[in-house]
């Protein structure tokens, strides 16, 4: 049994007669008839009952039809993927990213794609595991941690500001503050990301650059939890996430007035079989990040 026998069988089922199937497939009618008889002998069952020129599928034919359709579809998929691989195209792209990056960047970007674009799959990993995931299995990584030192190509996407979140009853909210300095921030009871979180690294660097120290803080593993605690008046939460829970956001700036920001980059294997397609995808992602993501991040 060959795949072409199954293709002939499916065509006859779809078009109802050998003549119509032959015209569609551009194959001589006798050839299709011979192959159908050969397929029936090979399987040991009758696939059709014949009433003049029209053919009706038997019960056995109906059962085999399900399997035949699946086999042919899988074979077509193999051929398509093989062609894409040989031509350096990529049938789908897998992205490694942390939870916040997925919700704030990847998902909004995917929503702008169409059915004709590459299919995107996502692997959620910890922030410090993105580069490792790209080295292992993923086509692309989006990370706010420091760029990889070796083995991967990388490109900056955008940067997002660190925000201090407070309850609506806090003085900063009542007086509609737009920004506060690192020094002002450190006078508060803080709810901070854990030390492995890139947002915490960016804040630590800003604090160290001004030779300051934290006074009072609590570590939490989730930026959403930091916002929730801030909204409930349990401290000042620090995060790059967009506002939730009616928490009031204030931008954090250095003593010179420069915003404290978290740079975001993407990375990939330079030896990827479809590296040109990956770079093209990165270019589209960069445009989205520098417009939609950045605009949303800086919106007050």
Query: CATH number, domain at 45?
Result: 1.10.10.10
Do 133 and 47 lie in one domain? The reply is: no
User: Where a domain ends, among 86, 109, 139?
Assistant: 86
Do 50 and 188 lie in one domain? The reply is: no
- Per the model's pLDDT, the better-predicted residue between 56 and 251 turns out to be 251
Q: In what order do the strands lie in the sheet with 140-143?
A: 119-124, 92-97, 140-143, 261-268, 153-161
- For the segment 179-206, the average pLDDT, to the nearest whole number, is 93
- pLDDT at residue 211 in the model: 93
What CATH number is associated with residue 180? 3.40.190.10
What are the phi and psi torsion angles at 109 (to 5°)? -70, -45
Whole-angstrom distance, CA of residue 237 vs CA of residue 219 = 10
Of 20-29, 45-54, 197-206, which range is least confident? 45-54
Strand partners, 51: 54
Do 137 and 286 lie in one domain? The reply is: yes
- pLDDT at residue 111 in the model: 94
- pLDDT at residue 22 in the model: 83
Sign, Cα dihedral of 222, 257, 147, 134:
positive
Strands 248-253 and 179-181: parallel
Q: What percent of the chain has pLDDT over 70?
A: 96
Asked whether residue 33 carries a pLDDT value surpassing 80, the answer given is: yes
Alpha helix positions (H), the chain? 3-15, 18-25, 29-43, 59-86, 99-101, 107-110, 130-136, 171-174, 182-185, 198-209, 223-231, 275-288, 294-298
- pLDDT at residue 288 in the model: 93
Asked whether residue 3 carries a pLDDT value surpassing 70, the answer given is: yes
Do 68 and 99 lie in one domain? The reply is: no
User: Where a domain ends, among 86, 103, 125?
Assistant: 86
- pLDDT at residue 84 in the model: 61
Position 298 confidence tier, pLDDT thresholds 50, 70, 90: confident
- Per the model's pLDDT, the better-predicted residue between 130 and 48 turns out to be 130
> Strand runs (DSSP E) across 125-260, as ranges?
140-143, 153-161, 163-166, 179-181, 189-193, 216-220, 236-239, 248-253
What are the phi and psi torsion angles at 131 (to 5°)? -60, -40
Q: For residues 239 and 227, is the Cβ–Cβ distance under 8 A?
A: yes
- pLDDT at residue 8 in the model: 85
Residue 120, domain extent: 92-158+264-298
Strands 248-253 and 216-220: unpaired
- Residues 71-105: tens digit of each pLDDT: 888 887 677 666 666 666 677 899 999 988 998 89
Asked whether residue 120 carries a pLDDT value surpassing 90, the answer given is: yes
- pLDDT at residue 80 in the model: 65
- pLDDT at residue 284 in the model: 93
Whole-angstrom distance, CA of residue 220 vs CA of residue 56 = 67
- pLDDT at residue 16 in the model: 83
- For the segment 41-64, the average pLDDT, to the nearest whole number, is 83
Do 21 and 82 lie in one domain? The reply is: yes
Do 102 and 64 lie in one domain? The reply is: no
Do 209 and 252 lie in one domain? The reply is: yes
Q: How far is CA 289 from CA 106, 160, 284, in A?
A: 10, 10, 9
Do 169 and 52 lie in one domain? The reply is: no
Do 82 and 99 lie in one domain? The reply is: no
pTM: 0.65
C-alpha gyration radius of the chain = 29
Contact partners, residue 146, CB within 8 Å, separation at least 6: 201
- pLDDT at residue 137 in the model: 85
Q: Identify the DSSP state of 218.
A: E
- Residues 206-253: tens digit of each pLDDT: 999 999 999 889 999 888 899 999 999 999 999 998 888 999 999 999
- pLDDT at residue 265 in the model: 94
Q: For residues 162 and 181, is the Cβ–Cβ distance under 8 A?
A: no
Whole-angstrom distance, CA of residue 193 vs CA of residue 177 = 23
User: Where a domain ends, among 86, 105, 137?
Assistant: 86
Strand partners, 252: 180
Asked whether residue 150 carries a pLDDT value surpassing 90, the answer given is: no
- For the segment 132-150, the average pLDDT, to the nearest whole number, is 89
Position 124 confidence tier, pLDDT thresholds 50, 70, 90: very high
Do 201 and 284 lie in one domain? The reply is: no
Do 255 and 167 lie in one domain? The reply is: yes
Number of domains in the chain: 3
Burial (CB count within 10 angstroms: exposed 0-12, middle 13-18, buried 19+), residue 244 = middle
Do 171 and 130 lie in one domain? The reply is: no
Nearest-5° angle of CA 182, CA 184, CA 190? 80
Q: How many Cβ atoms from other residues are within 10 Å of residue 159's Cβ?
A: 20
């Amino acid at each position: 049994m060959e795949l072409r026998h199954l293709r002939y069988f499916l065509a006859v089922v779809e078009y109802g007669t050998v003549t119509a199937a032959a015209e569609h497939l551009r194959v001589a009618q006798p050839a299709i008839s011979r192959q159908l008889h050969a397929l029936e002998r090979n399987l040991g069952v009758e696939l059709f009952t014949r009433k003049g020129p029209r053919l009706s599928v038997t019960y056995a034919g109906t059962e085999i039809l399900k399997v035949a359709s699946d086999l042919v579809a899988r074979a077509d998929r193999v051929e398509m993927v093989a062609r894409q691989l040989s031509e350096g195209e990529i049938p789908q792209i897998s992205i490694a990213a942390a939870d916040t990056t997925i919700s704030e960047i990847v998902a909004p970007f995917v929503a702008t794609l169409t059915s004709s674009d590459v299919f995107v799959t996502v692997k959620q990993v910890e922030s410090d595991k993105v580069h490792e995931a790209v080295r292992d299995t993923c086509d692309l990584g989006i990370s706010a941690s420091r760029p990889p030192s070796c083995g991967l190509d990388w490109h900056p996407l955008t940067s997002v500001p660190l925000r201090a979140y407070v309850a609506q009853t806090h003085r900063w909210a009542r007086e509609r503050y737009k920004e506060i300095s690192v020094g002002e921030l450190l006078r508060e009871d803080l709810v901070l990301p854990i030390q492995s979180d890139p947002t915490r690294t960016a804040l630590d660097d800003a604090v160290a650059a001004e030779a300051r120290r934290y006074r009072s803080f609590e570590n939490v593993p989730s930026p959403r939890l930091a916002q929730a605690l801030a909204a409930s008046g349990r401290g000042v939460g620090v995060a790059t996430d967009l506002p939730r829970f009616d928490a009031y956001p204030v931008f954090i700036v250095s003593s010179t007035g420069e915003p404290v920001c978290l740079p975001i980059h993407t990375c990939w294997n330079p030896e990827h079989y479809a590296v040109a397609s990956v770079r093209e995808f990165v270019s589209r992602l960069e445009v989205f990040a520098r417009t939609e993501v950045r605009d949303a991040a800086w919106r007050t």
